[in-house]
């Protein structure tokens, strides 16, 4: 893969879960790395092992002056900063729109002004909304959540910069990304936390919803390929495994990976209601019945394929959580009341 020696890469949201893995990879590729994060959700701990190799700029993507200063002499931008709390996006779509759409526009504008060579933009499979089978990149996007609308709009602005402003942009539509340093509130993390605490996972409802889980290390490899390959410019790529996993299967898999011989519990929780068995956890509303990505385009055009199985990835995440339990003490909701 392309060496990044001599190049400077700015990673927005670089203190977050996926961003910190990207930063680590860029440091390994000998790039000079700037992290741009407002630390609303990101953690300095995520960068601790590589902190002396990166420049950390505490800034907001809504603060154009700071962003433009940070963007000086930058060759590539990896845009990972976003608001991705679904309840917040539902309760206050304007905040979501500001951070995810206006924030992305600010990043694109500053990148263009500074003569950046390429922006890789983190998008989401949430742009597709409800689907009935494996979804390819040309599927009509009909988001079910305001979050998906804000990410879709961001992608479209990015495409305009690519097509008409001579700023190459690649959109990566992530499925459910998991792995070490994941934040605590989604289903896999709830299952893992309970298993690590010696408690059985709790499946809400029938657990037949399908998800496409992708290990963070596989995402990072595709991200680097996109930075280096001009064929990716202007393209959107699904980033998943094309493997359908039901929530029931996921619960079983966590039990198997933990090796504790636990049972799987089931609880009837209405969408939007709080669980009785899992403290502080509210079930998402307008839940997706299926998220499953056809990822053949990234394979065909960039030679990328996921390498880490769900079982192996979950084992790695469990191992990480066992050593970092303090990070996962409570579910943090940023609900606007
Ligand atoms: N994790 C997933 O499964 C998933 C799935 C689809 C898409 N994505 C996208 O991937 C990207 C990274 O997600 P993640 O899971 O690492 O989330 P994360 O919350 O761990 O990382 C986001 C980072 O952005 C920072 N941030 C938030 N608002 C900011 C602002 N206004 N200015 C500057 N920094 C700000 C946060 O502090 C955090 O460090 C996001 O764009 C998200 O929409 C993630």
Reading the chain (337 residues) residue by residue, the pLDDT tens digits are 778 999 999 999 999 999 999 999 999 999 999 999 999 999 999 999 999 999 999 999 999 999 999 999 999 999 999 999 888 888 899 999 999 999 999 999 999 999 999 999 999 999 999 999 999 999 999 999 999 999 999 999 999 999 999 999 999 999 999 999 999 989 999 999 999 999 999 999 999 999 999 999 999 999 999 999 999 999 999 999 999 999 999 999 999 998 888 899 999 999 889 999 998 888 888 889 999 999 999 999 999 999 999 999 999 999 999 999 999 987 765 443 3
Please give all residues whose beta carbon lies within 6 A of any atom in ligand 1, as ranges. Answer: 12-13, 15-19, 37-42, 60-62, 80-84, 99, 103, 122, 124, 174, 176-177, 183
State which ligand 1 atom lies nearest to the alpha carbon of 39.
Answer: 37
State which ligand 1 atom lies nearest to the alpha carbon of 61.
Answer: 32
Domain positions in the chain are 8-177+214-239, 179-211+243-328
State which ligand 1 atom lies nearest to the alpha carbon of 62.
Answer: 31
Q: How far is the CA of 166 from the centre of ligand 1 (A)?
A: 26
Query: What is 179-211+243-328's CATH topology?
Result: UDP-galactose 4-epimerase; domain 1 (3.90.25)
Q: In this predicted structure, what is the pLDDT of residue 334?
A: 43
Q: How far is the CA of 63 from the centre of ligand 1 (A)?
A: 17
Q: How far is the CA of 296 from the centre of ligand 1 (A)?
A: 25
State which ligand 1 atom lies nearest to the alpha carbon of 181.
Answer: 20
Q: How far is the CA of 148 from the centre of ligand 1 (A)?
A: 14
Supply the residue whose CA is at minimum distance from atom 28 of ligand 1. 82
Q: How far is the CA of 120 from the centre of ligand 1 (A)?
A: 14
Q: Annotated catalytic sites, by residue?
A: 147
CATH superfamily of 8-177+214-239: NAD(P)-binding Rossmann-like Domain (3.40.50.720)
Q: In this predicted structure, what is the pLDDT of residue 266?
A: 94
Q: In this predicted structure, what is the pLDDT of residue 337?
A: 33
Q: In this predicted structure, what is the pLDDT of residue 333?
A: 59
Best residue among 10, 23, 35, 40 to mutate for probing ligand 1's pocket (most ligand atoms within 8 Å of CB) is 40
What is the Cα gyration radius of the chain? 19
């Amino acid at each position: 893969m392309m060496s990044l020696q001599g190049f400077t890469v700015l990673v927005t949201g670089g203190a977050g879960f996926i961003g910190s893995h990207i930063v680590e990879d860029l440091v390994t590729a000998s790039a000079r790395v700037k992290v741009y994060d407002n630390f609303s959700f990101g953690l300095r701990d995520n960068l601790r092992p590589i902190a002396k190799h990166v420049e950390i700029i505490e800034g907001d993507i809504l603060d154009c002056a700071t962003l433009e200063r940070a963007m000086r002499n930058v060759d590539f931008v990896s845009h990972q900063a976003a608001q991705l709390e679904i309840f917040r996006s539902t309760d206050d779509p304007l905040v979501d729109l500001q951070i995810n759409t206006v924030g992305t526009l600010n990043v694109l504008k500053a990148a263009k002004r500074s003569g950046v060579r390429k922006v890789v933009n983190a998008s989401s499979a949430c742009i597709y909304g409800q689907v009935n089978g494996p979804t390819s990149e040309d599927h009509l996007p009909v988001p079910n959540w305001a979050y998906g609308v804000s990410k879709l709009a961001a992608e479209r602005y990015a495409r305009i910069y690519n097509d008409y402003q001579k700023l190459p942009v690649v959109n990566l539509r992530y499925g459910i990304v998991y792995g070490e340093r994941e934040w605590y509130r989604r289903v896999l993390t709830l299952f893992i936390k309970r298993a690590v605490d010696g408690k059985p996972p709790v499946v809400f409802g029938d657990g037949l919803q399908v998800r496409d889980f992708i290990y963070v290390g596989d995402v990072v490899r595709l991200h680097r390929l996109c930075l280096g390959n001009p064929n990716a410019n202007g393209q959107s790529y699904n980033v998943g495994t094309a493997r359908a996993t039901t929530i029931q299967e996921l619960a079983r898999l966590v039990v198997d990976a933990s090796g504790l011989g636990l049972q799987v519990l089931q609880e009837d929780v209405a969408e939007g209601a709080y669980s009785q068995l899992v403290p502080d956890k509210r079930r998402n509303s307008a839940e997706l019945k299926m998220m499953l990505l056809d990822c053949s385009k990234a394979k065909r055009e960039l030679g990328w394929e996921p390498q880490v199985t769900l079982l192996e990835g979950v084992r790695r995440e469990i191992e990480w959580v066992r050593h970092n339990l303090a990070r996962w003490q409570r579910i943090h909701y940023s609900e606007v009341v």
